[in-house]
Chains A and B, each alone.
Chain A
Amino acid sequence: MSAESEIQPDWLAEFEAAARRPLAQRFRYAFVRTYKPVLDDARFRSFESMEEYRRWCQDNLPDWLGYGRV
């Protein structure tokens, strides 16, 4: 059985449709802009380690943004 035949049919249809679109058009569909509280409120942030960054997200961002760990 091929890998494609194991892909959920609706997902496969989406992949095929995306493959037919030029990259510039995929960009227009894919990149959206919404305000993210806290996250968007600083012009620059940096973290020494990914662990520090993940902890900051966990402690400071609203849960609904989804940056917390599972």
Chain B
Amino acid sequence: MGAFEYRQAEEIRDTFARHGVRYLFIGMSGAIILGFPDTTQDADLFPERTPANGRALVAGLRELGFSLTDTEAAEIERGKDFVQLKNGPFDLDLVFAPDGIERFEDAWQRRVIVEGFPVCHPDDIIASKVAANRIKDRESLGRLRSFRDYWVGKRKA
């Protein structure tokens, strides 16, 4: 499997839009869509945890080519906190309860749209990385905070 491509992000965006999935790009993949110059390996999505959205999400994932058993589909529909998918055309992490973000609705209200991609606000991306407190995030956090200041400044200009 190759690296996650722009074309695949577009397929997520377009397929999920057809199915009415409510989700946000989060994590480093979200930051990159906002313009943060860094590297990452996979895409992280923060879907809303409701039964209807779970069903729409599973339908969208299957249309994208993810091979889900009925049990796996049920776990996604139910919205288990963290689901790691490596059974499709690209790797995808579904984070239904990201550390540091209280409610999906709050993040949704703060979302940023970039070329039709719904993305968490940089403050939410930073909050989730701070709360996760992982070694791999420690080095990038200072630079990410600076990017947030740069990004906010550009939006005001």
Contact = CB atoms under 8 A, between A and B. Distances in A.
| Pairing of A with B | yes
- Interface of chain B: mostly helix, strand, loop or mixed: mixed
A37 B155 CA distance: 40
A46 B84 contact: yes
Interface residues of B, number: 55
Interface string B52-69: 000000000000000111
Contacts of A67: 134-136
Nearest to B33: A23
Interface residues of A, number: 47
Contacts of A57: 134
A18 B115 contact: no
Contacts of B98: 50
B83 A45 contact: yes
Contacts of B4: 27, 31, 33
Given A17-B37, A50-B98, A33 B3 contact: yes
A2 B85 CA distance: 42
Contacts of A7: 146, 149-150
A48 B38 CA distance: 30
A50 B67 CA distance: 24
B153 A26 contact: no
B102 to A, nearest CB: 13
B150 A12 contact: yes
Interface string A19-43: 1000110111111111010011011
Interface of A: 2-4, 6-8, 11-12, 14-15, 17-19, 23-24, 26-34, 36, 39-40, 42-50, 52-54, 57, 63, 65-70
7 contacts: A3-B152, A23-B6, A43-B67, A46-B75, A46-B83, A48-B81, A53-B81
